[in-house]
């Protein structure tokens, strides 16, 4: 493995056209040491089977994506969400990763109460945090870009994520730092320092910002180097804050998904080496 | 005119299918007392002619949209932008409005330097602010939603807009408060108070937040009441900060543009009365 790829991890969604054995083969072929996994393809292959596949290949699982969706008001729906998040913690533990990424959830239908939704997330973490820590798993609250605030994640900034996370011990709850979601925010570097000071940078993810955004704005995460974000600048911020862990590239991008997955993985590794490593 | 519409102003873009005489007629028909104008249709009808048309109808011009696009690095391009903004100031003065809305501009091609772009905006305002004040026009820096940070406006939050505006006297430079751009930001209410304290809320505009966002994310501004934003809550923030001026509804929305403009204006006035007035 080249030194430039030492900290590189490929998030499974970047090359979702590859099944798990293909992903593992492609990682070995491209010298990629780590993978961030997603629950649905892992469940479909089998959690234990995935764990064995990755372990036997000598790869590490850097995160499991994703728990969360904790903003429901209705009690039965809320209980189901908590159950599902406990299951996600169990899956993370089985896979051998210490980090479960949380996408907090949007506004319930008809609600305009962002503050209330954020408080329900904090309430849920009060239940899930101790459970996760008991399994050796840390929850990483991910602020999503403000364009997702209504329908996907009411936590829009690192400051908001830390306001919630700091109510709990760092070994229970920290944050996800993802360049795509925070690159526009001139207060984010100071918030990264704040997160690092209490040991709460649980994962660092990269995607570039490219425009025009596609309809629905979900699958426009740009290949590293194609957009407006200076990756080394943000790597510098997390490193100055004490983070020296894996760096995941997580792209949702229809154009990349339409191509050969091995080729996309090799390209992504090369871009990482050029712009980050 | 009903009391519920006393502060209502229709931004011309909301019903861009109407030409200026049609817009004026529709305003009189629906009891709408104010209009926010855009430069292109005004230039096309004639600036003096527009001023006379609006004045003779007894309507007021609440803003002119828009100046800005001040982030160019190349000297000739920068000089052209300054010239064009001085012309926009002149047009505002001729139209009888005291407020020119500024959309600051995105990153120059190939640049990843948000901070530098923001500083070039401040430099430009140092030239434009005194000129505007000499014509009785105030510049209203508009923070645009962070999803426009790369290609349209590097000023993404009220805090950033005020950090720039406060370098100048309030009668030269203030801000635009637009619900669509800031509704997700839990620090925005405090920034509205900050803006009000120095008399810098130069205009207050409304659009609702609806999803899914369309491709390019420009024309998805939702009709009042259709989305996630509590309009009375935000009206309360600007009023508590001392703002008692006009409230403009500015929608860019393909579905509304495809309908009869008079009907859209009447609907918008009714929504304003229901959700704001």
Nearest residue on chain A to B107, alpha-carbon basis: A228
**% chain B with pLDDT above 70:** 100
CA-CA distance, B122 to B124, in Å (whole number)? Answer: 5
Helix runs in chain A, H state only:
20-30, 39-45, 47-56, 75-95, 114-134, 158-165, 179-182, 188-197, 231-240, 254-257, 261-275
Touching check for B181 and chain A: CB below 8 Å?
A: no
- Map A101-152 to HEC letters: EEECECCCCCCCCHHHHHHHHHHHHHHHHHHHHHCCCEEEECCCCHHHCCCC
By Cβ distance, the residue of B118, B213, B233 closest to A216 is B213
Determine how many CB atoms are found less than 10 A away from the CB of residue A17.
15
Residues of A in contact with B114 (CB under 8 A): 183-184, 186
Residues of B in contact with A160 (CB under 8 A): 186
Question: Which band of pLDDT confidence, cut at 50, 70 and 90, is reported for residue B3?
Answer: confident
pLDDT greater than 70 at residue B194: yes
Residues of A in contact with B215 (CB under 8 A): 212-215
Which positions 79-118 of A are in contact with B (Cβ < 8 Å)?
A: 107, 111-115, 118
Determine how many CB atoms are found less than 10 A away from the CB of residue A218.
17
Structure token pair of residue B234:
């935000």
For B83-115, give one letter per residue: b (16+ CB within 10 A) or e: eebbebbbbbbbbebbbbbbbbbbbeeebbbbe
Q: What is the pLDDT of residues B102-129, one digit of tens each?
A: 999 999 999 999 999 999 999 999 999 9
Q: What is the pLDDT of residues B213-235, one digit of tens each?
A: 999 999 999 999 999 999 999 99
Instruction: Give the A:B interface size as CB pairs under 8 Å.
Output: 90
pLDDT greater than 80 at residue A120: yes
**% chain A with pLDDT above 90:** 99
Which positions 143-162 of B are in contact with A (Cβ < 8 Å)?
A: 145-147, 149-151, 156-157, 159-160
pLDDT at residue A119, as a whole number: 98
DSSP string, B250-273: ---BHHHHTS-HHHHHHHHHHHHH
Place of tokens 């974000």: A229
When scoring B71, B122, B145, B150 by the number of chain A Cβ atoms within 10 A, the one with the most, hence best to mutate, is B150
CA-CA distance, A257 to B189, in Å (whole number)? Answer: 41
Do the chains contact at A114 and B185, CB–CB below 8 Å? Answer: no
Q: Which fold has domain A3-275?
A: TIM Barrel (3.20.20)
pLDDT at residue B1, as a whole number: 61
pLDDT at residue B2, as a whole number: 82
CA atoms within 13 A on the CB side of B59: 32
By Cβ distance, the residue of A107, A114, A145 closest to B147 is A145
Which positions 12-51 of A are in contact with B (Cβ < 8 Å)?
A: none
Residues of A in contact with B183 (CB under 8 A): 114, 149
Question: Which band of pLDDT confidence, cut at 50, 70 and 90, is reported for residue A1?
Answer: low
Q: What is the pLDDT of residues A4-39, one digit of tens each?
A: 999 999 999 999 999 999 999 999 999 999 999 999
Q: How close does chain A come to B121, measured CA to CA in Å?
A: 15
Q: What is the pLDDT of residues B144-167, one digit of tens each?
A: 999 999 999 999 999 999 999 999
With beta carbons less than 8 A apart as the criterion, state whether B183 and B209 touch: yes
Q: What is the pLDDT of residues A156-212, one digit of tens each?
A: 999 999 999 999 999 999 999 999 999 999 999 999 999 999 999 999 999 999 999
């Amino acid at each position: 493995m080249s030194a430039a790829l030492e900290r590189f991890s490929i998030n499974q969604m970047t090359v979702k056209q590859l099944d798990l054995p293909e992903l593992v083969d492609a990682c070995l072929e491209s010298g990629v040491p780590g993978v961030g996994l997603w629950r649905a393809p892992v469940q479909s292959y089998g959690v234990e089977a995935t764990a064995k596949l990755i372990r036997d290949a000598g790869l590490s699982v850097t995160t499991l994506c994703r728990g969360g969706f904790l903003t429901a008001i209705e009690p039965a729906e809320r209980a189901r969400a908590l159950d599902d998040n406990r299951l996600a913690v169990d899956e993370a533990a089985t896979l051998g990763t210490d980090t479960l990424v949380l996408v907090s959830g949007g506004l319930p239908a008809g609600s305009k109460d962002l503050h209330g939704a954020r408080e329900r997330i904090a309430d849920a973490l009060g239940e899930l945090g101790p459970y996760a820590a008991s399994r050796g798993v840390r929850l990483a609250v991910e602020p999503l870009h403000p364009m997702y605030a209504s329908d996907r994640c009411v936590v829009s900034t690192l400051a908001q994520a830390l306001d919630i996370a700091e109510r709990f011990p760092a070994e229970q709850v920290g944050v996800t730092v993802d360049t795509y979601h925070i690159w526009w925010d001139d207060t984010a570097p100071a918030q990264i320092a704040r997160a690092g000071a209490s040991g709460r940078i649980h994962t660092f993810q990269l995607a570039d910002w490219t425009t025009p955004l596609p309809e629905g704005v979900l699958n426009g995460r740009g290949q590293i180097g194609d957009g407006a974000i200076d990756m080394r600048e943000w790597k510098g911020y997390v490193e100055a804050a004490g983070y020296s862990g894996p760096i995941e590239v997580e792209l949702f991008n229809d154009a990349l998904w339409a191509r050969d997955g091995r080729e996309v993985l090799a390209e992504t590794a090369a871009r990482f080496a050029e712009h980050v490593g």
